[in-house]
Amino acid sequence: VRIFSMMDEPILDAICEKLRHKIYIKGSNILYNGGLVEKMVFVMHGKLESIEGEDGIRISLTQGDACGEELLQWCLENSLLYTASRKPEKVLRSERTVRALTNVEVFSLRADDLEEVIIRFSRLFQRPRVQAALRYESPYWRSLAATRIQMAWRNRKNRLNRKRAASQTN
């Protein structure tokens, strides 16, 4: 799985020990927009479709892809080791819906199991290589970044248009 390609062997071994085999039938929802993100899912066989929030941006997920990877970043940010000075968030809400387009065979990693691994290997997760794997290899984070860049561009363009209109009326 690409998201874990840059992680160290001890982390991967610990994660593999916690994985659970699951099968989702065609049409099943794995994540719901606004629902709780309680697991990461690694696609072994089949096709999933990720539909991003209000914009409806669609991303196809196939063998080797993962969904729910925002849970990993959330667990890193909210684990007890990272939140000595602030109260951790209680839940993570999904900003997308992930649906099975075919019957899908996956490995699932529950949030509790992931948090246990993060606490156990906290120093390894702080390495820049691991952080890069989280942000740059994840289809979710790429899509989120592209959406935010587009929104910033539209806002800037609208501000410039308003300034031009205001200067023309004066």
Structure confidence by residue, pLDDT tens digits, 102-113: 999 999 999 999
Grouping H, G, I as helix, E, B as strand and the rest as coil, residue 37 is coil
How do residues 113-133 score in pLDDT, each as one tens digit? 988 888 888 777 777 776 676
pLDDT at 163 over 50: yes
Q: Are strands 20-24 and 66-67 parallel, antiparallel or unpaired?
A: unpaired
Q: What is the pLDDT, as a whole number, of residue 6?
A: 67
If you write DSSP's letter for every residue of 50-108 in order, what string do you get? EEETTTTEEEEE-TT-EE-THHHHHHHHHSTTT-SSSPPPS--B-SEEEEESS-EEEEE
In the block, tokens 């684990």 appear at 79
48-66 pLDDT, tens digit per residue, is: 999 987 778 898 999 988 8
What is the per-residue pLDDT for 80?
A: 47
- Quick check: pTM over 0.75? no
